[in-house]
Amino acid sequence: MSQALSDLCVQCGLCCNGSLFDFVAISESEASACQDMGLAVVEKAGRLGLRLRCGALQGATCTKYEVRPSGCRSFVCALGKQLVAGTVTAEAALAVVRDAQARVLALGAKLDPPRTTDVMTHVRVALASPLPPYDDAWMAEARATQRFLTETFHGWS
Ligand code: SF4
Ligand code: SF4
Q: How far is the CA of 13 from the centre of ligand 1 (A)?
A: 6
Question: pLDDT digit string (tens) for 46-94?
Answer: 999 999 999 999 999 999 999 999 999 999 999 999 999 999 999 999 9
Give the per-residue pLDDT at 156: 61
Question: pLDDT digit string (tens) for 88-142?
Answer: 999 999 999 999 999 999 999 999 999 999 999 999 999 999 998 999 999 999 9
**Protein residue with its CA nearest to atom 2 in ligand 1:** 77
Q: How far is the CA of 147 from the centre of ligand 1 (A)?
A: 17
* Distance (Å) of CA 143 to CA 96, 104, 131, 157: 18, 11, 15, 12
Three-state DSSP state, 49: strand
Q: Alpha-carbon distance 33 to 38, whole Å?
A: 9
Q: How far is the CA of 75 from the centre of ligand 1 (A)?
A: 8
How much is the pTM? 0.93
* Whether 60 contacts 19, CB under 8 Å: no
